[in-house]
Chains A and B, each alone.
Chain A
Amino acid sequence: MNSMKKLWKRILCLALSCILLLSACPALAEEEVIEIDFWHHYPSGTGAEIMTEVLADFMEKYPNIKVNELGLGLGEQGEKLVPALVAGTAPDIFVYDLATVQERAMKNQTMCLDEYVKNAGMDMTRYFPATVDICTYDGKLYGMPYMTDTRVLFYNKDHFRAAGLDPEVAPKSWEEVLEYVEKLNITDENGEVTQVGFSTIWWEIAPWTMGWTFGADYWDAENNPTLNTPQMVEALKYVIKLTEAVGADAYQKLFDAAMATGISPFTNGTASMCVQFNGFCSTLATYAPELDYGVALIPTSDGVNNKASWGAGYSLEFTFKDEKRAEAAFLLGQYLTSTEVATKFLLGNSEYVCNMDAYQDPAVQADPVWQVFAESGEYTRIHHFCPELPTWPNSVLLPEWQNALMGAKTPEQAMEDAQKNMLTEIENYRLLNGL
């Protein structure tokens, strides 16, 4: 009786395991689906539409990878990502601030990409050099340059014609700018300035960009601050001279008018030249479609050397969950920064992508404005990442620059104080962190 029971049990077990095996067979044949999370910066709009389309193409190309996308607005990104990174719940791949890639690398929150880049045989030289540099921490790559921006000189061709200037030739040196400004400034019979030659309004030509175009560098090879260089003082003196040439009151009036209406003086035709970022093109297309404008590189101290522009942007960064997910996420990153996809975003949403090959597209080649943007990108710099004080340009340099512009300090004294304050900040940070 007992042995009979045992036999039955055995048969039953065998039968059950056979059923289980059989039912498992089809699953084995199919490949395992890897799910990855991806947070990008398009909550809605054309960019979001292109992104969804691109992700669908990607998943079609790699059927075993499923991408869960989430588009976050400008403010939401930091709010969601910073805690998620601390808690270790950040997505496998995400879009975030290019300028602070090194901060997250330093905190060990993101994944080093060197191995993956090597295995994939990715050519990093096809991205704008500054964008690759800013993603590099301690000699290793921690982010993929994704999208960036650049600043160029916009000038009003009609104003140039009216002043007897060649509308196809923009000033190359800052001295030339002064000469142009003299010709372009218009004062009416009441002594009111109705048109100014050059406008620094909206701060797009920031102190740091001015300094760069005079050959200033704010950090030496050992990453020590050098804010008080003679070049920086020279740049500051030049801006004071320029402001005097236009008239501080005239500037202020323009600024107020611009703030009140939200329309910049260049857009409404009261300023002949200004430095703006590449996206300004679409602003002009919307608010001043008739405006005949040209673009050129930002002038420099001597018109030949010290070409520079200022940029920021977005990187793609990764967190490590397991090897399979990391590989899948990297494949997606590679796809998103590929020339094919970059061109799609450039043409479809006027995105200033980091991939330089995208600018070889015939449609882009035919557009002189985009050609200048592409050239400017090669000279564009991103703020040096200073772990002691990531906000140094705004928190240390700008206030002292303003002090000098308002005449509260001499240019020399202002930059001397900026340097002193920077050293204090670094010293304080080191004290806090036991360095």
Chain B
Amino acid sequence: MIHVSGKKTHRMNKMRRQEALYGYLFASPWLIGLAVFTLYPVLSSLYYSFTNYNFSQNYKWIGLANYKILFTSDYLIPISAQNTLFFALLSVPLNLVIGIAIAVMMNQKIRGIRMLRTVYYLPNVVSIVAVSMLWYFIFQSNGVLNAFLGVFGIKGPNWLMDPAWAKPALVIMNCWNAGSTMIIYLAGLKGIPTSYYEAADVDGAGPIRKFFSITLPLLSPSILYNTIIGIIGALQTFSTALVMTDGGPVHSTTFYVLMLYRRAFQDMRMGYASAMAWVLMLVTFALTLVVFRLGTSKVHYES
């Protein structure tokens, strides 16, 4: 074909523009979805956090009043923040250790390992409400857990009815979901070249030395990832407390997000709840940043 060069670039531009248009067109279901179902709600919640919105049409701009009350005079905020922090501090490290332990076990080459992996992952597939009901029975004063403790002569507490034990009970229950972190650790373990272990064998290293000098450092990217995801998840813990204890007894399991939900949908303080959500977002962001900063220096990337 014969084209004048100037015209050609013009044509190309047109073609590229058209291509770009098609590109956006094909991506549009997702882009529209993002804008309508994510971006718009997120931004409007930011807007509502500066209003006294309560599901009715007459609401007004109240500036920082929501944030002021949140930080100064809502007596439930310190309680729920403490509860959430307690839960996160206990459950994140615990899940980390258990997740790695299971992953190492599931990395053995024995018969039926695939089925065992499925079994350990299974709790994550079951509905949280059904799981909660199951654990409800385990934690009863004459339930399975206390019967087990009784074998060792320990009189177990009445887990879910005692303000001192309800939170630890939920932490224990949360360990059951270690399967989801296990999958990630397992993938990490599979990525460690066997040659390292062979070299260590030649040098005469024992299994413990091998674990701490090879496995753990090479698993550190997965650990960092799971820690961050774990912290985010722990700060947002909600459904188990809602189903099993309803925040009780005496606010001992009133976690931050549970309270946020109540403020929004029971007390009808939507604006206030939006402010709570944004504070949580900022706290989560800050914590993630800290963990990331602290972690990056310790994480060993293989490449």
Q: A interface vs B, CB < 8 Å?
A: 82, 86, 103, 107-109, 252-253, 256, 259-260, 389-391, 395, 398-400, 402-403, 406, 408, 421, 424, 427-429, 431-434
**B119-149 vs A, Cβ < 8 Å mask (1 yes, 0 no):** 0000000000000000011001111000000
| Number of chain B residues whose Cβ lies closer than 8 Å to a Cβ of chain A | 35
The distance from the CB of B113 to the nearest CB of chain A, in whole angstroms, is 35
CB closest chain-A residue, reference B252: A399
Q: Does the CB pair B56–A390 fall under 8 Å?
A: no
Q: B69 to chain A: which residues have CB within 8 Å?
A: 428, 431-432
Q: B248 to chain A: which residues have CB within 8 Å?
A: 398-399, 402
Q: B56 to chain A: which residues have CB within 8 Å?
A: 86, 107-109
CB closest chain-A residue, reference B137: A260
Main secondary structure of the interface of B (DSSP, over half): loop
The answer, yes or no, to whether B271 is at the interface (CB within 8 Å) is: yes
Contacts known (A428-B74, A431-B69); A86 close to B57, Cβ less than 8 A: yes
Q: Does the CB pair B249–A402 fall under 8 Å?
A: yes
Q: B136 to chain A: which residues have CB within 8 Å?
A: 259
The complex places the Cα of A435 from the Cα of B142 at a distance, in Å, of 51
Q: B143 to chain A: which residues have CB within 8 Å?
A: 256
The complex places the Cα of A403 from the Cα of B162 at a distance, in Å, of 11
Most chain B CB within a 10 A radius of its CB, from A260, A389, A428, A431:
A428
Given contacts A428-B74, A432-B66, 9 further A-B contacts (CB under 8 A): A252-B161, A259-B137, A389-B267, A395-B262, A403-B250, A428-B73, A432-B69, A432-B271, A434-B52
Contacts known (A86-B56, A256-B143, A424-B75); A406 close to B269, Cβ less than 8 A: no
Q: B250 to chain A: which residues have CB within 8 Å?
A: 399-400, 402-403, 406, 408
The complex places the Cα of A418 from the Cα of B105 at a distance, in Å, of 51
Nearest 3 CB-CB pairings of A with B: A107-B56, A256-B140, A432-B52
The answer, yes or no, to whether B268 is at the interface (CB within 8 Å) is: yes
State which residues 56-99 of B face A: CB under 8 Å. Answer: 56-58, 60, 62, 65-66, 68-69, 73-75
- List 7 contacting pairs A-B, 8 Å CB cutoff, sorted by A: A86-B57, A107-B55, A256-B140, A399-B250, A406-B249, A429-B269, A432-B272
Q: A434 to chain B: which residues have CB within 8 Å?
A: 52, 60, 62
CB closest chain-B residue, reference A417: B75
The answer, yes or no, to whether B217 is at the interface (CB within 8 Å) is: no
The complex places the Cα of A253 from the Cα of B158 at a distance, in Å, of 10
The complex places the Cα of A109 from the Cα of B54 at a distance, in Å, of 13
The complex places the Cα of A31 from the Cα of B191 at a distance, in Å, of 79
The answer, yes or no, to whether B251 is at the interface (CB within 8 Å) is: yes
The distance from the CB of A81 to the nearest CB of chain B, in whole angstroms, is 11
The complex places the Cα of A428 from the Cα of B251 at a distance, in Å, of 19
The answer, yes or no, to whether B163 is at the interface (CB within 8 Å) is: yes
Q: A107 to chain B: which residues have CB within 8 Å?
A: 54-56, 58
The answer, yes or no, to whether B266 is at the interface (CB within 8 Å) is: yes
The complex places the Cα of A106 from the Cα of B68 at a distance, in Å, of 26
